[in-house]
Structure formats: structure tokens, C-alpha cells
Structure 1
């Protein structure tokens, strides 16, 4: 099956999934999305394509998906620290504690931890591709305000989420309280502000141990950026009731091999993730489904040359364009896959 046909089938499955999410009240359409320029100028996005938010939080959406599956057993909390091939099986362990034996393994995360895990796995081609991935750094600031954020000429900002342009310290802002079903119950207005990748790079520190001076500087800089983006006068942004700052050290991919998944048939190991096709949730879903189908085809084709099932092990990486916090339909910055990139996944 060629990539174009496979992706068509996967997209149909994805559309069916989003309809199912809406039926179980996990997700709803989200229209109030804007492009926001420095100084308070904003441009509403067109209503199409549909965008979704998890009305009970992303964790609830994930748990709902799991509850509808009879083939998946999730063990948590669990952090696999070692992969060992033995007698045709993969033996997984967590700090010396056995975590099971498996016919195949899938690496669905990236960054330093994934590279460390693969270092002694005996999967040089998989490890090589994973190490070629470059990731940006983004600062994330949660700020809770007692009242709605002010906006020139209005009692509150006329949007729930916006991409910010022209501000060094802020690239995205969203009222998370408005996404949830509890938004009508009163209480604080909890906003999330995400920095630009450039700001993250300029102020990068070890994310596990952020110096207090850096935290204070970044928080002040981001709140100043919010104030500037909204077109408010200096010092007029209300003081938050609560803030929480975190560096997203391994945030978004900046390059990609442009394949839906990576699979080593001789090691029976694969990689899936948004960075293989783009930089958003849709790309992650498509990648996961593609790898699952590919592994199923591999095990259902005894006698076939395993080499025919190798995918993405030697693909060159190309720069990945998009917004600082990912790719989103309607912004005109998505990486497009051409027919020339069609890849034969399986017979």
C-alpha cells in the first residue's frame, strides 16, 4: 500500500475518531481562535477547518480512548530504563524491575531520555535517526487572574486563544478555563502563555533546576509581552493571583525525515511521533496508526524478506517550518507532503 492510499484511510479513521470524542463529551469544536499582532490588533481565523479542545482536559480524553480499547494494557507510572534483546524477544525493565517480554517495541518519545535508552539497545539505525532530531525550547507560563484580562475598548479580551506576532517573549496565549466545562462556574481565569523559540533559546537553562533569577526574569518578560500584545499601557496588566513557570526544554521539532514512521524489521523496533510528519497532534495520531498498521503487516507476512519492511532508517532530515508551538491549519506555514514523497510502506 502506498503512502497516499494509507494516509487517506488513516485520515478517514481520524475523522471518525473525532466524531466519537464529541459523542462522549470529551472534545468540542473551538471557534474563538485568532492571529494577534503586537499592540492589540487581532484577526479572527476562518471557521474551517474544525479545531477541537478537550472539555474535561487532555488526560480525560486519553483515558476515554483507553476505555474503549480491549487490546491495550497501560502500566503507569512506569519509566522503561533498559531494553534488552534475548531469544527473539525484547525484555524491558525499569530500574532493574522486569516489565515484560515483547515481540516488538515502539519508541514514542524523543530527546535525551530516548537517546539514552537507545544507546545500548543494539539498534544503531534507529538510534542514529533519533539523534538527528533537533528540538526547540519553549517557556510556558501559567497565570491565574481574578478578573478577565482587560482589552482596549472592551471589558475583556475578545478571544479565548491567539497566536501572537511581533512580541519576542510570547507566541501563544490561551484562556484554559474557557476550554473546560467548569468555565461557567466562576473562579479565576487561568491563562497559558508560551514563548517564542528564540526567547526559549536566549534564556535556556537546565529545566530540572531553573535558577530563581532566571525564573523571575522570564516571568516578568513574558507578562510584559502579554501586556504589549494586548495594547495595554505599561503596568496596567493585572497582577496574577498565581503563576507557574516551566521550561519546555525539548519542545517542538525543527527538522523531520518526512515519513509517517520508522521501522527496523531486523530489530523489530519502530519509532512514531508527530515530528516524523510535522508538528501537531494530527501528525502524532497519523504516525502512530501508520506504525501500528506497518508492524501488523510485518508479523502477518511470514516468509517475506524482512528488508522489504524497512522504513525511514536512512531518510535525510529536512527543515520543518511552522509556528513556534507547532503546525496549525490556516496559518500557511504547514509542511506539505508532495506525491514525490510517497513511500511504499508495505505490499
Structure 2
């Protein structure tokens, strides 16, 4: 029965079901339905806020339980991800294949560079608004300007393949050795300098400039940024990528060169269950970064220190002395990193950090600096500029210990520092390894995929290193210097 009063808003009342009966000829359930639809006119009486609304405060009718915003529970999502049907490309590889690389950090950029060396085109998709690089981030604050390395602080070299790449960067003036004093700082100001003679390297104009320069000489690499690939779909032997429904091209193979929850969601319905399983086995730490600029130089006799015994602090580094060694006056820009434990306890959505959390973290980290230096609370020179940033998926805590992962059936691979450790060198070696592996596969015509699949069942082992990464050549003296006592 339909009853109408006026002709404006519609209210649908609950459906009333009668007892069903079974039709033996086709086994369909036939259910006569009676529905009451009430039409109400919009009037001053209806819109009167002082008039009682009979529906206000009542739960809308639902025949089924409410679903989560993802459509099901997190446990079900994980189960669905790992139980999805495996893709198996059988179509021939095109004569001029193109690879999509999702992520423009060190591993993704080096992968693109080495694919070009093998004659293979690629497109790098990166979310960076200010530039490429991922954790090779340099933040410049105008108008002074203030320059901060707010992610990777420096890198070392232990592998000949990476050394060859770094030598080319040195020849082009992109990197230089960092000869400033670094070491370990114990609570109370006990500083132990590093004794290693192995060189440490930094970008001449910051790490981000190094990232931007990696592809400056390429002609077969296309870069799309800022772009957040939200979906990957396989169709007719090719991968189709999209950003929030907007097509971003079709490719013969894909590379996942980033990690964390975004990569997990991307792989959730990709048809790559073995890759998804390996990615989900990865554990990542959370680390806070505090950028602080001081009007006058801090009288501290080192440029960088790994901090020991302070809950809120794992590293402190002087960006100004490191990047501009000839600058003797003016503001000093420091980067402070928290411990992973502190980051975990104070973790919030990094895209929307509450002001109260940011202030609490800043105060705790400044107090940690004073504790490490052995000076009274509140005695440290107050910075005139501060900014906190949370790296929610900062660094890996476990690794499969292999250069790359590649699923030849699905024509998809993974590269990143976490596959070999936790350093820029590890990221570069992973990108090199995957690029050469994909090139070998594509140039073989895609035959014998079982022979080219690698790393899909590798077990993970814990990573040992500092909370801000691994630096194989960094060592410290056994003796301890006098406590610091001149910080103002």
C-alpha cells in the first residue's frame, strides 16, 4: 500500500515479509512483499527545530550487521589477500616492453637507471610533492634559508658495485666525503668518537638533490609525480595502473619500490599472493624527526652522534656544519631522531598529526637532547624554528637477505633496502639486482617463468643496526672523552 501526503521527501519503512513458499519445479523462494512508502511534504511544521522529530536518535533499520569501511574485517582482508588466485601471464612479451616502477626512492630510481642500461623503458610513479627520493629527503625553509636533512643523514660504502656508482657521483660533484666528527653519545655527555677510516658520504646540496640527479641523464625513463597509484589490475597480459580511478597507463611488468600499509593495500587484490605474503612479513619501525634551528651555534664538539640510553633520542646531527662546512656564523640547523620504541608509543596517523601530540613529542625530544648532553633541563638554547615529522614506516626490523623478489608468473617484482638490510647502499643494490633480473626475464621472451621467480618463499631474519639505519663502516673508540660541559 502506498500512502502519500504532499510530494517532497520520501521515507522508506521496513519491509514486511510473509511466510515464503517453495516452488518444487525450480527451487526458487517466492516471497510476496508488502512495502509501505510514505511521502511527506516539506513544510514549516516539518522543518521546525522545536518540533519533535520521531526519527531523531533512532538507529536506522538494517537487515544485516554493519560492515567495516573496508567491506569486511581486517582478518578477512588478510585471508583474502593471501588466498587470492595467482596470476599467470601467458601472452607473449611485446618487442618494446615498458616497466612501471611504483616508488621513487633510491631503489626505484636505481632500478629505472639500470633498466635503461639494458635498453628497457620505464615509468617511475612517486608521491613526492617537492621531489623524488623517498627517505633521501632534504627540507629547505625560506627565506634564510634553513636546510635540514630530515631522513637519511649519510651513507657508507662496502660493496664494489655500489662503490662504482658512488665514484661516478663524486666525479660529477654530486656527493662528497663527510669528514666531520661523529660517534656515540652516552647519557651525561660521554662522547665516543668513531675511529673508522672508511669514508662517509653526503649529498653536496643535500640528499634530495642527489635523488633528482640520478635520472637527469636518462632518456628512457618517464617520471610521474606527485602520483599515488591506488590500483593495479591485470588484463590481457598487461598491467593497468590507476590513481583514484584515473588511468595511468599499461605496462608489461611492474615493480613495487615502496612498502608499508599502502603497498599492502595495493597488493590486496592484485593476483600476486606470494608477493603479498612476503610484503606482509616485513616489519617496519616508526621514528619521529625533530628539525630545530638555533640562532647561535651550539658549542658541541661533534657534528653527529648516535645517542645511547635516552628513550626519546637516537641521533642528533648538525646539518649546517655538515652541508656548509665553511659557514662559521649564523643559525644552525639540527636534526634529531627518536628511538623506535618512542616512535611506536607515540605513533599517530602521520598525514594528520594532532597539535597536542606534536608539542608533546617536541618537548620530550628537546629534553632528551639535554639529558644526552648532561645539561640541566631547560638550559638548552631555545630554537627559533621547530618542526616534527613522523616516519610511520621508517626502517625495516627484519629482512629476507636477498637483493630482490620477482614473481615471473605475474611479471611483478619488489625492490627496497629492507631486502638486504637498512641502508642507502642496500636500496641501491636491490634496485640494481631487480633491474637486471627483469631485463633477463623480458629479453628471454618470458619463457620458463619458474626459472626466473626468486625470493617468494625466503624466510626473514632480524636486522641489527642503529635505529636510523645501518652504517657498516662506522666504529667507535674504546676510550671515552671528557663529558660535555659547555652547552648553553
- Bin of the TM-score, shorter chain as denominator length: 0.7 to 0.9
- In structure 1, list runs of 5 or more residues that go unmatched: 1-9, 150-155, 333-347
Tell me the CA shift for residue 142 of structure 1: 0.4
Aligned partner of 1:177 among 320, 336, 351 = 320
Query: Which residue number in structure 1 is paired with residue 362 of structure 2?
Result: 219
Aligned partner of 1:114 among 263, 280, 283 = 263
Query: Which residue number in structure 2 is paired with residue 29 of structure 1?
Result: 177
- In structure 2, list runs of 5 or more residues that go unmatched: 1-157, 476-488
Aligned partner of 1:296 among 439, 444, 448 = 439
Query: Which residue number in structure 2 is paired with residue 16 of structure 1?
Result: 164
1:74 aligned counterpart, secondary structure:
strand
Distance in 1 of aligned mates of 2:322 and 2:446: 51
Query: Which residue number in structure 1 is paired with residue 309 of structure 2?
Result: 166
Tell me the CA shift for residue 183 of structure 1: 6.1
Tell me the CA shift for residue 302 of structure 1: 3.4
Of the structure 1 ranges 200-209 and 124-133, higher mean CA displacement relative to structure 2 is found in 200-209
Query: Which residue number in structure 2 is paired with residue 54 of structure 1?
Result: 203
Q: TM-score, normalised by structure 2?
A: 0.63
Aligned partner of 1:250 among 379, 393, 400 = 393
Tell me the CA shift for residue 304 of structure 1: 4.1
Tell me the CA shift for residue 12 of structure 1: 3.1
Distance in 1 of aligned mates of 2:268 and 2:446: 31
Tell me the CA shift for residue 209 of structure 1: 2.5
Tell me the CA shift for residue 160 of structure 1: 1.1
Query: Which residue number in structure 2 is paired with residue 341 of structure 1?
Result: none
Of the structure 1 ranges 311-320 and 101-110, higher mean CA displacement relative to structure 2 is found in 311-320
Flag the structure with higher helix content. 1
Tell me the CA shift for residue 77 of structure 1: 1.6
Distance in 2 of aligned mates of 1:131 and 1:310: 18
Change (3 A) 1:148 1:31: same
Regions of 4+ moved over 6 Å:
none
Is structure 2 residue 278 aligned with structure 1 residue 92? no
Distance in 1 of aligned mates of 2:410 and 2:201: 37
Tell me the CA shift for residue 186 of structure 1: 4.5
Does structure 1 retain, via aligned residues, the 8 Å contact 2:196–2:474? no
1:67 aligned counterpart, secondary structure:
coil
Tell me the CA shift for residue 18 of structure 1: 1.0
Question: Higher Cα Rg: structure 1 or 2?
Answer: 2
Tell me the CA shift for residue 303 of structure 1: 6.9
Distance in 2 of aligned mates of 1:320 and 1:186: 40
Deviations 1:31-81 (A, max 9, x none): 222111111111111242211111211221112111122222211222211
Distance in 2 of aligned mates of 1:197 and 1:214: 16
Of the structure 1 ranges 196-205 and 297-306, higher mean CA displacement relative to structure 2 is found in 297-306
Deviations 1:170-196 (A, max 9, x none): 000111122324862843211010000
In the comparison of the two structures, how many residue pairs are matched? Answer: 317
